[in-house]
Amino acid sequence: MTCVECKSPLSYLDHRKSMDKFQAELCPAHLKRMEKFLAQNDIPEETIILYYALKEKGIKPMMAWWDGKRTVDLAISRVKLNIEIEKSLEPLTSEKALQELEKTMHSYKNGFTTIRIPYTLIRKDLGRTVENIQGIIDGLRVNIKVI
């Protein structure tokens, strides 16, 4: 059991605490850093869970990425993919839905694809969520000239 960021060994308790929170092994210092990062950026907790799950597969996402107009929860710039985590499962009001649509349009204009994932899916089926994101990345790679 070692921290995924700094490789320092973890006690069982630290391991448990970090796994319960982010489903990734983080030492107390890195756990605290991530909690601070969450508090400073308006992103859901599941962003960090997904971030580390993708990292484990060799994908390098950026968290709380500023695209010039807004903060994107996760972005994979190599294939111009934005991932937004849906915080609520309540149906959207038409005003909110329109805002989302405008954001998606803005992203498309910059050549970015946006996918939205409900936070509950990340909690309940992280493995298959990541599998599908990998599939999307593979598909985008074919369509986009990767620099």
Binding site for Zn ion (CB under 5 A): 3, 5-6, 27, 30
**Nearer Cβ to Zn ion, position 33 or 116?**
33
Provide, rounded to whole angstroms, the least separation between the CB of residue 89 and Zn ion.
33
Provide, rounded to whole angstroms, the least separation between the CB of residue 12 and Zn ion.
16
CB 47 within 8 A of CB 58: no
**Nearer Cβ to Zn ion, position 52 or 112?**
52
Provide, rounded to whole angstroms, the least separation between the CB of residue 8 and Zn ion.
5
**Nearer Cβ to Zn ion, position 2 or 99?**
2
